[in-house]
A and B are shown apart, each in its own frame.
Chain A
């Protein structure tokens, strides 16, 4: 029982991180109808920027404090992501308005490749570490209830807390601020939003910046767990089935989908894996999402797809 709960919690923590990346997808899809394949590349890019800036700033400006370096690096990385968002809007999206979803999807694939290349050219392609001072040693809880207790990673707990905080911030931003209202208006109807004077291009830059922000947070958390390297952009491939499962337009869907997939993946690996030869984590999420799509094509919380001629 204790082992099962440990696996379950492990799955929930990983799932939380998946949802963090998935939220980036959902944000952009909601506000512009673009399925952003470049989210993974953005996570890698943001994490690379963060890791390298935190390393470079103390050298450039000659100070020692890790905290100060991290704060400055975070601000600088965020600035870089805003520039990236602006460039993407300027150079690619604004020229592809009114194209089909597939065209936009392929454009974001191109953007993903481009960002991967640029990121590694500027920041290098080794494994870098991000040290934001997350506690590393595991935590023992409920020793009296279970024999051996439950082993929880403090790092995972901190990550989950940060993710939860991010979701709350995003929810407030979307529901309470004027910009958030404009974003929701654009998401509902581009033309109507434009006609009452909401500037589309600025909204898109904001959305991509927010997606960049969530990519940065996801990148920092994953990066401090696993180190920043190229495989980070592949983590986003894990977030795709999450979005599909939860529904492309729903932030709660992204969160619940992430948790479901995280838990499903870990439990299936432990309990089904040995029967099938192990390593089924690779495809489990996809097959789960695929089976789910056959039953409910719009995902858990997605809007119903209605075809009209």
Chain B
């Protein structure tokens, strides 16, 4: 009843092509941002901030990056963890090797290194696709796992591949407390989400989608496959690399290659599938779902009044993840994001559905 757009007239193309054409959506987003920036830092416990909200933000950022590649450009990748690792270790190297390197600059440079590696491993996508490409991206995963464990230069001569950062600050403001870390990540996520949203609405985004829907036909109408695929790899791995750097620097503080193992790649792929392939919003839904589900599953037996062992709990978690993947692919291949937009459609007609 309140979610209706009658009376909102648009008299220019600009107004018609905004990200949120309906006024209520704009207000909702502003309120959401206000809550995220002001209310949450005041009202949420440090534990939630540190253990749930910050990982959620960083993983949504990584899922966003992966979604550009898999959801928008149709190039399936199982090597996301590798690009995160490249981002994290590259940023670490910039941080320790160059004196007085600003934190933001090293994070972004880490992202750039991930871009280079991403494009490099994206080159096979010009010859192969689908299943073959999935296996090819696994090569990136195994190679970086090995490289950061064995090549001492990358880790500043630490023998186990584990590195740590400390004393982070931006323009003299320390990034130490959970609230500061949360806000720092939040700013990154908001900026990147806006950039990504605009990218996928632009010409290059349409080229990606054309490539995804039918690459041969896209090539016939004049889209250059090389350009479209490699830009998708570049943009995607840049975002993923920055997310990896944030994961290492802000969330973990000290990490080893195992933090970016193949499990991380699968986890991110699941986020994208469950959240919604080809949807910016979906990346957030997916990340929230995957971050919160284990918590929920851990609490559930307690609420129901019986206890299960941690081993059984983790097996159940795997099982439920697996089942949910299949369930979503069968019932709603476009994920939670599609449910969300269906709900909005229904709401616009409510209470007169027809």
The segment from A145-153, A178-186, A288-296 found at the interface with B is A288-296
| Chain B residues within an 8 Å CB radius of A290 | 124, 136, 139
The segment from A47-55, A99-107, A156-164, A193-201 found at the interface with B is A99-107
Tell me if B318 and A113 are in contact (CB < 8 A): yes
Tell me if A117 and B316 are in contact (CB < 8 A): yes
| Chain A residues within an 8 Å CB radius of B333 | 99, 103
The segment from A58-66, A73-81, A130-138, A279-287 found at the interface with B is A279-287
B98 is an interface residue with CB less than 8 A from chain A = no
* Interface residue tally for chain A (C-beta within 8 Å): 48
Tell me if B324 and A117 are in contact (CB < 8 A): no
| Chain B residues within an 8 Å CB radius of A278 | 150
A244 is an interface residue with CB less than 8 A from chain B = yes
B10 is an interface residue with CB less than 8 A from chain A = no
Tell me if B146 and A282 are in contact (CB < 8 A): yes
B143 is an interface residue with CB less than 8 A from chain A = yes
- Chain A interface, DSSP helix/strand/loop, else mixed: helix
A244-B135 Cα distance, complex, nearest whole Å: 8
A118-B320 Cα distance, complex, nearest whole Å: 10
| Chain B residues within an 8 Å CB radius of A96 | 329-330
Which residues of chain A from 262 to 309 have any CB-CB distance to chain B below 8 Å in the complex?
276-280, 282-283, 286-287, 289-290, 293-294, 297, 307-309
Tell me if A277 and B266 are in contact (CB < 8 A): no
Tell me if B315 and A286 are in contact (CB < 8 A): no
A300-B353 Cα distance, complex, nearest whole Å: 57
A109-B135 Cα distance, complex, nearest whole Å: 13
Tell me if A116 and B322 are in contact (CB < 8 A): yes
| Chain B residues within an 8 Å CB radius of A243 | 135
A308-B130 Cα distance, complex, nearest whole Å: 16
**Per-residue B-contact encoding for A109-129, CB less than 8 Å = 1, 0 else:** 111111111101100010000
A237 is an interface residue with CB less than 8 A from chain B = yes
Which residues of chain A from 213 to 264 have any CB-CB distance to chain B below 8 Å in the complex?
237, 240-241, 243-244, 248
Q: Which one, A107, A114, A118, A240, contacts B135 given CB within 8 A?
A: A240
| Chain B residues within an 8 Å CB radius of A111 | 322, 326
A35-B262 Cα distance, complex, nearest whole Å: 19
A176 is an interface residue with CB less than 8 A from chain B = no
**Per-residue A-contact encoding for B123-151, CB less than 8 Å = 1, 0 else:** 11001101110111011001101100111
Which residues of chain B from 168 to 212 have any CB-CB distance to chain A below 8 Å in the complex?
none
A86-B143 Cα distance, complex, nearest whole Å: 37
A15 CB, min distance to chain B CBs, angstroms: 18
Tell me if A121 and B316 are in contact (CB < 8 A): yes
A83 is an interface residue with CB less than 8 A from chain B = no
A247 CB, min distance to chain B CBs, angstroms: 10
Known: A101-B131, A241-B135, A309-B216. A114 touches B326 (CB 8 A): yes
A240-B132 Cα distance, complex, nearest whole Å: 9
A264-B224 Cα distance, complex, nearest whole Å: 37
Tell me if B312 and A121 are in contact (CB < 8 A): yes
A1 is an interface residue with CB less than 8 A from chain B = no
| Chain B residues within an 8 Å CB radius of A307 | 215-216
A92 is an interface residue with CB less than 8 A from chain B = yes
Tell me if A113 and B329 are in contact (CB < 8 A): no
A248-B134 Cα distance, complex, nearest whole Å: 13
Interface size class of B (residues with CB under 8 A): 35 or more
Q: Which one, A102, A115, A118, A294, contacts B127 given CB within 8 A?
A: A294
Known: A120-B315, A121-B312, A307-B216. A244 touches B132 (CB 8 A): yes
| Chain A residues within an 8 Å CB radius of B149 | 279
Q: Which one, A114, A241, A294, A308, contacts B322 given CB within 8 A?
A: A114
A117-B318 Cα distance, complex, nearest whole Å: 5
A102-B78 Cα distance, complex, nearest whole Å: 12
Tell me if A297 and B127 are in contact (CB < 8 A): yes
Tell me if A240 and B138 are in contact (CB < 8 A): yes
| Chain A residues within an 8 Å CB radius of B330 | 92, 95-96, 107
Tell me if A309 and B322 are in contact (CB < 8 A): no
Residue of B nearest to A88 (CB): B326
Tell me if A277 and B151 are in contact (CB < 8 A): yes
A3-B40 Cα distance, complex, nearest whole Å: 65
B220 is an interface residue with CB less than 8 A from chain A = yes
Tell me if B135 and A289 are in contact (CB < 8 A): yes
A282-B325 Cα distance, complex, nearest whole Å: 28
Tell me if B322 and A91 are in contact (CB < 8 A): no
Which residues of chain A from 23 to 48 have any CB-CB distance to chain B below 8 Å in the complex?
35
A294-B321 Cα distance, complex, nearest whole Å: 34
A83 CB, min distance to chain B CBs, angstroms: 17
| Chain A residues within an 8 Å CB radius of B217 | 309
What are some 14 contacts across the A-B interface (CB < 8 A)?
A: A95-B330, A99-B333, A101-B131, A102-B130, A105-B131, A107-B330, A109-B269, A110-B321, A113-B325, A117-B316, A282-B146, A287-B143, A293-B136, A297-B128
Q: A117-B316, A117-B322, A293-B124 are in contact. List 11 more A-B contacts (CB 8 A).
A: A35-B131, A113-B322, A114-B321, A116-B315, A117-B320, A244-B132, A277-B150, A287-B139, A290-B136, A293-B127, A309-B220
Footprint of B on A, CB under 8 Å? Answer: 35, 91-92, 95-96, 99, 101-103, 105-107, 109-118, 120-121, 125, 237, 240-241, 243-244, 248, 276-280, 282-283, 286-287, 289-290, 293-294, 297, 307-309
Footprint of A on B, CB under 8 Å? Answer: 74, 76, 123-124, 127-128, 130-132, 134-136, 138-139, 142-143, 145-146, 149-151, 214-217, 220, 262, 266, 269, 273, 311-312, 315-326, 329-330, 333
List the 7 closest pairs (A to B, CB-CB), nearest first: A110-B325, A114-B322, A117-B319, A113-B322, A117-B318, A286-B139, A283-B142
